[in-house]
Structure 1
Amino acid sequence: MTSPPSGDAVPSTDEEKLKTPSPANDGPDDDELQPEMSLIDHLLELRNRLLKMVLATLICFAGIYPFANRIYLWVSQPLRDLLPEGQVMIATDVTSPFFAPLKLALVLSVFVAIPYILYQLWSFVAPGLYRHEKKLAFPLLFSSVVLFYLGAVFAYFVVFPLVFGFFTTVGPEGISEMPDISSYLTFVLKMFFAFGVAFEIPIAVILMILAGITTPEDLAAKRPYVVVGCFIVGMLLTPPDVISQTLLALPMWVLFELGILFGRLARRHTEDAPADEAP
């Protein structure tokens, strides 16, 4: 028998295994592989997506602005219903009747366009994510939008009637309450934002657990400090009254507990995943 030429040596079995790529590689899907983009290409893509976000916001604004006055009346309804008979909201600035509804329409346009804005951000970063990251990122992204809207709805239907009911009854006798429309709008927008961000606590807790920053057991052990922190945050983000502070602190604590629960489930899912799918 003649041995094969030295230049055509047959690789051993171990060498073949090392050189053969694993079919279960945790990289991007084959159909998702794209040519490597330069920094300029990335910047151009980011610019295009930012322009799409701005355009979507402007389109929403164009559709909302004609109804800005009606929307302002709806937003101010919780306070106007509690004002004594004969007392109304006023405008202390000459430009307030124009700029207050305009500001409200612009902010509402951003709120309405948030799903599309987040979709554009997702489309920008998704090609660089692995499969297991995509499986977790999209549900968290969708949940964050829903929770933000739920926070704003909770503020309008639950917090506003109680807070304004308290404020309209504690004033001295002989003082007529005539809230300024600009001051009221600033107040309610802060409340919408505060409750919207507060309702994102489960997402923040899950991300910290998945990133390995902390564990559900550590968070559960620090529960007393978290409860105190919730009331401190409620004091800082809401008006100086016990009602609004408590109405923000209690949901934050409940959402923190939900974050621990879902964080345990998410961690168990990643631990039970195959080795090629685990982070």
Structure 2
Amino acid sequence: MSDNVLKVENVTMQFGGVVAVDNVNLEVNAGEIVSLIGPNGAGKTTAFNVITGVYPPTNGVVYFEGKKIVENYPRGKMKKLYKTENNGAYTHAIEPTPDKITRMGVARTFQNIRLWSSQTVFENILIAKHCRVTAGLLSATFRMNKLEERRQREECDELLRILGLEGVRNELATSLPYGQQRRVEIARALATQPKLLLLDEPAAGMNPQETQELTAFISRIRTDFRLTVFIIEHHMALVMDISDRIYVLDFGKLIASGTPAKVQNDQRVVDAYLGVSEDA
């Protein structure tokens, strides 16, 4: 039986004539921390958006825990516009919305922090619990769901305690220092009870001390919550320190993959980040 938690198979995301993700294949195994790196505009966030249902891919399939959760193929005008490989390989459309993928057990954060500005840290995290609510409209209206609501509030308080955020429980989330806001956003994703956590540039905008603390924080999350983690990140010290494996995208195509040591010594990766000499 495969250990894959996530498998992306021949995924292409094309916008008009622009191919943002070009026939990408990758796997993330249970318990791993895997990073997706590449220059700005390489297609990393677009790949995350396909995995989490923000965009249906133009072509290809996404599997989660061995089950096909996303599939698409070129249709309509895209039949003529489609530029890349595997046209005709897929014939079905499976296009779940992001909320459905979240309920399957896939949670994510975003490049730009998206906390509710008028709500406390606790309220931001409690909102995420709504994807696990079992009570219907009628029972919620007449407060017949008190036990479930109490349990969810207790779970949020426990999550804050585990992550060291109990001291800011009642603070407005957006009033916190930047590094703590990032932690709150990760805590909110964890509140959905995921099996796979996707982090989109979690160290963006952080100073070296905050980045070092975040590195330890992510490692602890993997261990304490028994999670599989998939990260987009530009901070190479974090990536090399924390990753079991790395995939490298450039202009939408995978150009390298493997252990940190293998990837950082790959000439194609060096060229993608530093550019190729005109004399080369």
- The two structures have a TM-score, normalised by structure 2, of 0.24
Question: Greater Rg, structure 1 or structure 2?
Answer: 1
- The two structures have a TM-score, normalised by structure 1, of 0.24
**Bigger RCO (CA 8 Å, 6+ sep):** 2
Report which of the two has the higher share of strand: 2
